[in-house]
Structure 1
Amino acid sequence: MKVTVKMAGLDGVLDVLHKLPAEVVSKRGGPVRAALRKGAAVIHRQAKENLIAATASAKSEEKRQNTGLLEKNLVITRGKKPIGSNGERYLVRVRRKAYPGRNGEAVTTRKTAALLEYGSSKQPPEPWLRPAFETQKQQALDTVETELHKSIERIVKRLAKTTGR
Structure 2
Amino acid sequence: MAKADVKLPEDFLLKLSRLGDKTDEIIPKVLETGGEIVLSKVKSNLQSVIGSRTKVESRSTGELISALGVSPAKQDRNGNFNVKVGFNEPRRNGESNAKIANIIEYGKSGQPPKPFLKPARSSSRRACIEAMKQRFEQEVENI
TM range (shorter): 0.7 to 0.9
CA distance in 2: counterparts of 1:43 and 1:14, whole angstroms: 21
What's the C-alpha RMSD, in Å, of the aligned pairs?
2.0
2:71 alignment partner, SS class: strand
TM norm structure 2: 0.86
- Could you tell me how far 1:153 is from its partner in structure 2? 0.5
- Could you tell me how far 1:147 is from its partner in structure 2? 0.1
Does the CA-based 8 Å contact 2:90-2:96 persist in structure 1?
yes
Greater relative contact order structure (CA < 8 Å, 6+ sep): 2
The answer for the alignment partner of 2:50 in structure 1 is: 55
- Could you tell me how far 1:43 is from its partner in structure 2? 0.8
Does the CA-based 8 Å contact 2:8-2:129 persist in structure 1?
no
* Structure 2 CA distance for partners of 1:98 and 1:144, relative to 1, 3 Å: same
1:45 alignment partner, SS class: helix
Question: How many residues are paired up?
Answer: 141
CA distance in 1: counterparts of 2:82 and 2:132, whole angstroms: 12
The answer for the alignment partner of 2:62 in structure 1 is: 68
The answer for the alignment partner of 2:84 in structure 1 is: 91
1:138 aligns with 2:126: yes
Does the CA-based 8 Å contact 2:63-2:91 persist in structure 1?
no
CA distance in 2: counterparts of 1:53 and 1:69, whole angstroms: 15
CA distance in 1: counterparts of 2:134 and 2:42, whole angstroms: 22
Unpaired runs of at least 5, structure 1: 101-105, 156-165
Structure 1 stretches (4+) deviating beyond 4 angstroms? Answer: none
* Structure 2 CA distance for partners of 1:154 and 1:8, relative to 1, 3 Å: closer
Higher mean alpha-carbon deviation, 119-128 vs 3-12, is at: 3-12
Deviations 1:34-90 (A, max 9, x none): 111011111100111111111132x22111112100111001013653553x22111
1:6 aligns with 2:7: yes
Query: Which residue of 38, 44, 53 maps to 2:39?
Result: 44
Which of the pair has more CA radius of gyration? 1
Unpaired runs of at least 5, structure 2: none
CA distance in 1: counterparts of 2:16 and 2:47, whole angstroms: 39
- Could you tell me how far 1:6 is from its partner in structure 2? 2.9
Q: Percent identity?
A: 23
1:141 alignment partner, SS class: helix
Does the CA-based 8 Å contact 1:99-1:108 persist in structure 2?
no
* Structure 2 CA distance for partners of 1:129 and 1:80, relative to 1, 3 Å: same
Does the CA-based 8 Å contact 2:51-2:57 persist in structure 1?
no
CA distance in 2: counterparts of 1:134 and 1:148, whole angstroms: 22
TM norm structure 1: 0.75
